[in-house]
Chains A and B, each alone.
Chain A
Amino acid sequence: MSPQNILLLLTIAEQALTTVAAVRAALAKASAEGRDVTDEEVAQVMSGMREHADALVREFGR
């Protein structure tokens, strides 16, 4: 595996840990408040996902 691949994997792994921590925090907050994750919270994450996926497709898609 080339250094580029290793660097890419480390970068994505770092991003994954950050994401997991953020999701855990969101779930913990909802749990502490005795409720489920709200539709609005899910929609907000969906919106971010769509925004970045769109940017990827727009800039680099075929």
Chain B
Amino acid sequence: MPKPFTPKVITANALLEGDVVYLTATGWTRDLAEADVLTDEADADLRMIEASAQVDKVVGVYLADVTLDGTTPTPTHFREDFRATGPSNYAHGKQETAKQEQI
């Protein structure tokens, strides 16, 4: 039996800044909390195709596993945790600016 589909977000790096971004219903956000959480496999496949086509905005599109705490996605793997927050030795990256504009 195939494994049940677990919740995911679509993530990538922004072409110009390299910053980690997540797909939303309308575009891309730099904040994981605002990401669209995908719970249906067919929908995820379709959204991946759309997201991967945006080569003028993002690089390296992939699906990352999350768990849902209410409606807020939390990464299941520590690598995605670091991507969502920034490095641990300096408060750089996403830790510097709490809220950043969408791309």
To the question of whether A and B form a pair in one complex, the answer is no
